[in-house]
Amino acid sequence: MPKINLLYIITKLELGGAQKQLLELIRGLDKEKYNIFLFTAKNGLLVNEALAVEGLVLKMSGFLERPVNIFKDLAAFFEIRSFVKRNKIQIVHTHSSKAGILGRLAAGSIRETVIFHTVHGWSFHDYQPKAVRYFYMALERLCANFTSKIIVVSNSDKEKGLRNSIGKKEQYCLIRYAINFNEFAKTDLKSSARRALGLNEADLVVGTVACFKPQKSPLDFINIAGCLTNEFPGVKFIMVGDGCLREKIYLSIKNFNLDGRITLTGWRNDVALILSAFDIFVLTSLWEGLPIAVMEAMAAGVPVVATDTGGIKDVIQDGQSGYLAKPKDNKAICERIKELLANSQKRDEFARLAKKRISSREFSLNSMVKNTEELYFNLGREKKNV
């Protein structure tokens, strides 16, 4: 049979969970079945990684970008539409909010195309002004009308979509994020990781891995670090990431007198190594789909304290395999961290149960690729030319 022309669209190849998962999916697909294309912005930390993927045709747009710009957005719409027609694309699979809307609108204007969209957390959330939130809801409802399947990575996103009248129940399909468990479950990295970070074997280390942007609320992490230092003066803090809040983070570290106590590593490609140096992983997000950093920490055997957002309940059972707290409830998060710092046995028990949960087949790369390919086949065969 002839190969299927398959196009992925994602806004930007930054170092995030959605982007990492998409590249893992592309690597795992059967290249004998698909001609694979990827349409994305021209800049991104993972562009070189995408260029290295065998068999992938990468199209970098000069118009597609995250901020709303009516002229560039319109140009990106026509650019995507032209690309789909010129390359005789049969399946379009969009990822991320901006690309999900523009890509589906463009592909939806071409009847022969089968359209899939993966929700990595919805484009609307409670921290937006009402008018903005309702505008994005309306766009999601519109795009759902010509989306064959809406793929969610957590039950929370499915429930949120249906609660807001986005698509129909039968359109939704749950396909979990995948973890390369063996990469993160190595047990011999801790000493070398701590040496690389300038830490001692005896140090207690609390860390996070997150983009420095409002969604992740990294200033809350610093606030929590400031609260912990009085009772645990020897604790060290690590922040892996970068972003638009970088200068505010520097200022906050000075305000809390945390110079020398918090290490900012910037973006790292060796997250598995860095995580092995942590005693506790903390995530302070305000909203999420399913945070891949939490899953990686679980695979690395690091107990997690995180905000109860999106699909995190699908992987962490509060009080048994980790701790969850309400977003912005820094006092509660701080108390949970203190409890774990003071109790190594509880840390070990949380880590054991977390690793057991995340090592299940449900979160394997093979399952993610297999389930996605089955979806392509089942929906694609309904079109004569797929």
Mean pLDDT, the chain cut into blocks of 10 residues (386 residues total)? 93 91 95 96 93 96 92 97 96 96 95 92 93 96 96 95 97 93 80 88 94 96 94 94 95 94 92 94 95 94 95 94 97 97 96 92 92 87 54
Is residue 356 domain-shared with residue 371, that is, in the same domain?
A: no
Is residue 125 domain-shared with residue 216, that is, in the same domain?
A: no
Is residue 138 domain-shared with residue 151, that is, in the same domain?
A: yes
Task: Tell me the residue ranges of DSSP E strands in 4-47.
Answer: 4-10, 34-41
pTM of the model: 0.92
Is residue 191 domain-shared with residue 339, that is, in the same domain?
A: yes
Class of residue 163 by CB neighbours under 10 A (exposed 0-12, middle 13-18, buried 19+):
exposed
Closest CA to 123 of 95, 91, 147, 145: 95
Look at residue 120 and tell me if it is in a domain. yes
Look at residue 27 and tell me if it is in a domain. yes
Look at residue 275 and tell me if it is in a domain. yes
Q: Give the chain's length.
A: 386
Rounded to an integer, what distance in angstroms lies between the CA atom of residue 287 and that of residue 296?
18
Is residue 259 domain-shared with residue 199, that is, in the same domain?
A: yes
Is residue 225 domain-shared with residue 194, that is, in the same domain?
A: yes
Look at residue 52 and tell me if it is in a domain. yes
Closest CA to 238 of 216, 217, 266, 200: 266
**Cβ atoms within 10 A of the Cβ of 282, count?**
29
Look at residue 189 and tell me if it is in a domain. yes
Containing H/E element for 307?
Answer: strand 304-307
Rounded to 5, what percent of the chain is helix, strand, coil?
Answer: 45, 15, 40
Is residue 88 domain-shared with residue 212, that is, in the same domain?
A: no
Q: What is the pLDDT of residue 180?
A: 85
Q: How far apart are the first and last CA of the chain?
A: 10
Is residue 226 domain-shared with residue 163, that is, in the same domain?
A: no
Rounded to an integer, what distance in angstroms lies between the CA atom of residue 373 and that of residue 367?
10
The tally of domains found in the chain comes to 2
Is residue 221 domain-shared with residue 284, that is, in the same domain?
A: yes
Q: What is the pLDDT of residue 381?
A: 59
Look at residue 385 and tell me if it is in a domain. no
Q: What is the pLDDT of residue 196?
A: 87
Look at residue 261 and tell me if it is in a domain. yes
Look at residue 386 and tell me if it is in a domain. no
Owning domain of residue 36: 4-178+364-380
Is residue 173 domain-shared with residue 185, that is, in the same domain?
A: no
Is residue 205 domain-shared with residue 75, that is, in the same domain?
A: no
Is residue 231 domain-shared with residue 94, that is, in the same domain?
A: no
Give me the CATH number covering residue 248.
3.40.50.2000
Rounded to an integer, what distance in angstroms lies between the CA atom of residue 209 and that of residue 382?
42
- Long-range contacts of 347-350, Cβ-Cβ distance < 8 Å, separation of 24 or more: 347/279, 347/280, 347/303, 350/303, 350/304, 350/320, 350/321, 350/322
**Cβ atoms of residues 383 and 114 within 8 Å:** yes
Closest CA to 217 of 95, 333, 67: 333
Rounded to an integer, what distance in angstroms lies between the CA atom of residue 294 and that of residue 208?
9
